[in-house]
Structure 1
Amino acid sequence: MSRYHEIKHRVVTTFQRRVANPLSSRMPGQILLETTGRTSGLPRRTPVGGSRVGQEFWLVSEYGDKSQYVRNILADPRVRVRIKGTWHTGTAHPMPEDDPRARLRKLPTGNSAVVRLMGTNLLTVRVDLAD
């Protein structure tokens, strides 16, 4: 990763962690992804954008396996997703073989534009929903 991308990652993730995520997590319509902290074992909730297609939920991570929630998924793929105020359990699968830019064209426009703009290492994640 280039120095520019490292700095961009650090600035954006600090802003998201300290400002954007705490605010958007409180919004009732915000989709949340809940993973289990790989060290603490505690629930970790991250606002995400994506779309449910049948029994699958699709999203694209801006920073791939540098994203904390992706690292948590790699350690324990059991997750929950809050969609329209309802929690769903599922199993998350990073999909490095999927084209994340093509996937973003199928997901909600607003979030997809931000992910394309801010992201440096896009990675598609599919959650197989159990309920």
Structure 2
Amino acid sequence: MSRYHEIKHRVATTFQRHVGNPILGRLPSQPILETTGRRSGLPRSTPIGGRRVGRSFWIVSEFGEKSQYVRNIQADPRVRLRLKGRWHTGTARLLPEDDARARLKTLPTVNSAAVRAIGTNLLTIRIDLDD
């Protein structure tokens, strides 16, 4: 990763951790992804943007395998997802072969624009919902 991308990643994740996520996590309509911490074993919640299509929920990670929630998924793909105030269980799958830029065109516009602007290593993730 270039020095520019490293700085961009550090600034974005610091902002998300201390400003964006605490605010977004309180909004009842905001989708929340809950993973299991790969080291702690504790639930880890992350506000995300994406779209449900049938029994799947699609998201694009702006930092790919550098994202903490992606690392948690790699360790344990079982997740919970809060959609419209209701929790669902599912299995997350990383899809590096998917065209993440094309996928963003099918997802909510504002979130997709932010992911494109901030992202340095886009990665598509599909969550197959149990219910």
The residue matched to 2:103 in structure 1 has which SS? helix
Matches within 5 A, 1:1-131: 1-131=1-131
The residue matched to 2:38 in structure 1 has which SS? coil
Q: Give me the whole-angstrom Cα distance separating, in 1, the residues matched to 2:118 and 2:89.
A: 28
Cα deviation 1:75-116 (Å, max 9, x = unaligned): 000001111111110000000000000000000101000000
Query: What TM-score comes out, normalization by structure 2 length?
Result: 0.99
Q: Give me the whole-angstrom Cα distance separating, in 2, the residues matched to 1:23 and 1:74.
A: 27
Q: Give me the whole-angstrom Cα distance separating, in 2, the residues matched to 1:51 and 1:12.
A: 22
Query: What TM-score comes out, normalization by structure 1 length?
Result: 0.99
Q: Give me the whole-angstrom Cα distance separating, in 2, the residues matched to 1:89 and 1:79.
A: 6
Cα deviation 1:27-84 (Å, max 9, x = unaligned): 1110000000000000000000000000000000000000000000000000011111
Letter of the structure 2 residue corresponding to residue 115 of structure 1: V
Percent identity (aligned): 73
**Deviating runs (4+, > 2 A) in structure 1?**
none
Shift of 1:15: 0.6
Structure 1: which 5+ runs fail to align? none
The residue matched to 1:41 in structure 2 has which SS? coil
Cα deviation 1:103-131 (Å, max 9, x = unaligned): 00000101000000000000000000001
Q: Give me the whole-angstrom Cα distance separating, in 1, the residues matched to 2:81 and 2:116.
A: 22
Query: How many residues of Structure 1 are paired with residues of Structure 2 in the alignment?
Result: 131
Q: Give me the whole-angstrom Cα distance separating, in 2, the residues matched to 1:99 and 1:8.
A: 22
Q: Give me the whole-angstrom Cα distance separating, in 1, the residues matched to 2:128 and 2:72.
A: 16
